[in-house]
Chains A and B, each alone.
Chain A
Amino acid sequence: MKQILLITDGCSNVGLSPVVAAAHAQSEGISVNVVGVLDQGDAGEMGASEIEEIARAGGGLSRLVNMRQLSQTVQMMTRKTVVQTIQLAVQKELKQVLGNGSIEALPPEKRGEVVRVIDELGETSSLQVALLIDASASMKPKMAAVEEAIRDLMLSLQARQGKSEIAVFHFPASRHGDDCAMDLGWTSHLNGVHAIFPKLQMGGTTPTGPALMQVIDFYRHGDYGKQSRDETDGMMSGYVV
């Protein structure tokens, strides 16, 4: 199972629409969850509706939270999306067997059996979560909470019986030409990782869409080597407005 978890605090302002990018992810079998981190006030109407739209296009969940709720939200969202992904697959199977895809349509006794299978698969199947972090200037005071949420997520994933890995990216990348930068490649533990985001130069634009595309690409190629990046720059230019 593949997920992208986007943590942001506002509106994208450069390049391809993140909603389009999320729809691309969905077509690649990757669910996109979005967490909007609020300041004291709110994310603004634009930000809030964009966050919801991205998650809807990406087949995932969206939540607006303050910093203190971040860890718990990230953990529960990831868990819920795992269940949802499996549920969708199971429903597809059910459709073939029963001609009816919805679990709700089953009588409660039968529902129990199906949910047992979903729970079991949710615990044992392998899972990859790519975290994509908005590192624009306004996120600066929130990065400590973000790092904590990532460590907390790793802790929860390590308790699963199935293989679980995370990778961490932030955007915008400081280097010209990249939309996002990788901070951590696929890993199943954070032992010995002292700082996930060492000395970020935060600021610049918010290219949420292009950054999402780059993470999708990372999934597609299975690594973040220079080679694959070169290949896709040409391909991606078609999407980038």
Chain B
Amino acid sequence: MATSFKWELRRGATVTGKWNQGRYRVEKLLGEGANGKVYLVQQGRTWYALKVGADAVDLQSEINVLQSIAKQKRNGLEPFLYDVDDLYGPDGKEYPFYIMRYVRGLTLADYFKKQGTEWFPLVGLNLLGKLSHLHEAGWVFGDLKIENVLVGDYGHVELVDFGGVTAKGKSIRQFTEIYDRGYWNGGPRSADERYDIFSFAVLCIQLHEPKQLHQLTLELLPQNRSADELQQIVESSQALKPIAGWIRKALAGGFMNAKEGYEAWRVLMHRRDTHRPSSTPGWLKGLAAASAILLVTSVYWLLRNML
């Protein structure tokens, strides 16, 4: 269900928190999730993202998850919650909001459109890395989809919209049908690590073969939806061929968590045929491969040093 308030915060407007008196200048709307709207705001010289919700309980429930994760930052999950407060909307009513770190980046689909799909293997690896941090801390992301993954420079990945994040063992709090394991008759709708891996596999298909995937949802009767049907798209896709085996295992629940998926993905990446054939000259390809490997190494090194 979409957000249930219609007003917008105008550019240049100042939001003042009711309890903590934090003041934020609104720059622009960044996006809209199931529980609210996200704005780019500025305080002093720092940019933040402000999420305002219509329902205090819904938003607080999300904040609780963020706070629990923030306490576990040793796991490589950077702190991102700065302020929690209420604001007065243009209609005079109070609305809850929270301030988090602003992540500069493009959504997955936009990133590949702009930078090219040769970034896909690395971005996929980084995304699995993010998920594995979350899994190690006892959480399942839940609502993994293209719109909830931002990619920054050089394939750096951030998960956004934590409305679906669920403690292991509970029922998934928020999901999107085509990425949902239950929708494909692939297993329960409860939070285990394999749930995210399943969504990740669908996300790969959605990125490369969105039309076929959409067509499948229209054609199949609900009882006939299955991982096998998804796999057929993968087998017939040139772009997905190199990861067909990985996806098969992911859809079947063969990776127990993101860490296993990550390791298997990394092995794949170092095989030569993983990178999509393109019309670029050979020397450029070699250069790209070399820089990709360099990047993986540096990202890995960087991550290791940050943890």
A residues touching B (Cβ–Cβ < 8 Å)? 63, 71-73, 76-77, 80, 83, 87, 103-104, 107-109, 111-112, 115-116, 118-119, 123, 148, 151-152, 155-156, 158-161
Contact = CB atoms under 8 A, between A and B. Distances in A.
Given A63-B1, A112-B67, A155 B188 contact: yes
A23 to B, nearest CB: 24
A111 B59 CA distance: 10
Contacts of A115: 57, 60-61, 64
Contacts of B171: 123, 156, 159-161
Nearest to A108: B84
Nearest to B177: A72
A118 B1 contact: no
13 contacts: A71-B177, A83-B57, A104-B86, A108-B63, A119-B64, A152-B182, A152-B222, A155-B188, A155-B189, A158-B188, A159-B172, A160-B170, A160-B171
Given A108-B63, A116-B64, A148-B222, 9 more contacts: A77-B1, A103-B60, A107-B19, A108-B86, A123-B171, A152-B182, A155-B182, A160-B171, A161-B170
Nearest to A157: B171
A108 B96 contact: yes
Contacts of A159: 170-172, 182, 188-190
Main SS of chain B's interface residues? mixed
B169 interface: yes
B94 interface: yes
A118 B31 CA distance: 28
B182 A156 contact: yes
B13 interface: no
Interface residues on B, range: 20 to 34
A108 B85 contact: yes
Contacts, number: 68
A156 B56 contact: no
Contacts of A155: 182, 188-189
Given A123-B171, A156-B182, A112 B64 contact: yes
A103 B222 contact: no
A187 to B, nearest CB: 17
A71 B178 CA distance: 12
Contacts of A109: 84
A103 B56 contact: yes
A62 B169 CA distance: 30
Contacts of B67: 112
A87 B57 CA distance: 8
Contacts of A80: 1
